[in-house]
Amino acid sequence: MTRRPEARPDRQHRTRARRLLAAAITAALAACLGAVGVAGPASAEVPGSAQRWASLMYHSLTPTPQYVKVRKALSARRAILAARSRRLSAARRTHNAAQATLTTAVAADAAARTRYVLSREALTSARNRLIVVSLQRPRDPAAVTRMQNTVTAAAKAVNTRRVQARDAAAALKSAQAAARTATVAMDRATVAWRIISAVVRKYQRRLAALDHSAEIAAQAAAISRTVVTDVQAGFTTADTTTVEGITVHKSVAFAFRRMLADARYHGIILSGGGFRTKQRQIELRKINGCPDVWTAPPSSCRVPTAIPGTSLHEVGLAVDLTVDGSSVPRDSDAFRWLSANAHRYGYVNLPSEPWHWSITGS
């Protein structure tokens, strides 16, 4: 009898790893679709490509625990940086004020010393003239008295200028000390700011390295046309769900809900319509004056309207968005926000209709 060879340990390990990975993907997708009201894992009606798209968008929009941890650490460091920036700004203002005071004190000290020197020269000159007048013959008492008064006044001026020079020197010394203190404080504040700035940059680089959202969203975008084809092939209304009053395919519900919530956070309140039946599409073709319901190209209608059976609205993969009760206009904050951010949630604009967004842009 031929015995079945025993499985090698490494093969058993790989088999277990594959099973665990499959379980993890299933759990993630269940969380993704369950978050929008779908019972359990993705329903059997949802094609594999749509499940894959939903899973990719879930992982794109849901940060990992490590990313959250680094983001919190970065937020804390940014708060420290903001505080140190304020401290540095205050230190610079103090430094600039001290430098201005020092400049004024230097000029005042120089002027006071000059006036003191000039007053001493004036006193010396007055004393010399008094000697000359006193030695003149015949002696002129009135002239001598005048010169004596001049000497007295010059001596007073010297005393005044000496006090002023001393006060100016003291003010200069104080200004110099204040300027030195302010310079040291500013240097320390600058060093502290540079240290935390470097830390913030380090955390920013670490956060960027952990952020794979754009890469994952690009993977979802790459299969979006396959999703459309697969969904159209077997779509039923049971594959839809409602997100804030808008009916969409349940594979896009999580991403769509996040887009509405994030837009609201930025002050953009979006509403609108998503899924509509083929019958409603036929009615719209008639309402919009298409030459032929089934064959005329969308551009031939008064308002471009897809041929029934081709519109992504009919499978819940497109939405017509409104803001303030009207279709989103091109020149609006809503359109600008969507243009900058909608791709993060898997939505692309149809260029001819600023209000129309779908997973393929068609």
pLDDT at 299: 87
Cβ–Cβ contacts within 10 Å for residue 76, how many?
A: 11
d(CA 251, CA 231): 10
Asked whether the predicted pLDDT for residue 20 surpasses 80, the reply is: no
Q: Over range 52-69, report the average pLDDT.
A: 97
Asked whether the predicted pLDDT for residue 138 surpasses 80, the reply is: yes
pTM: 0.70
Contact 301, 327 (CB under 8 A): no
pLDDT band at 62 (very low <50, low <70, confident <90, very high): very high
Contact 361, 350 (CB under 8 A): yes
d(CA 140, CA 138): 6
Tell me which of 40 and 326 has the higher pLDDT: 326
pLDDT band at 45 (very low <50, low <70, confident <90, very high): low
Helices (H) and strands (E) in the chain, counts: 9, 7
Each residue of 209-257: pLDDT tens digit?
999 999 999 999 999 999 999 999 999 999 999 999 999 999 999 999 9
pLDDT at 2: 35
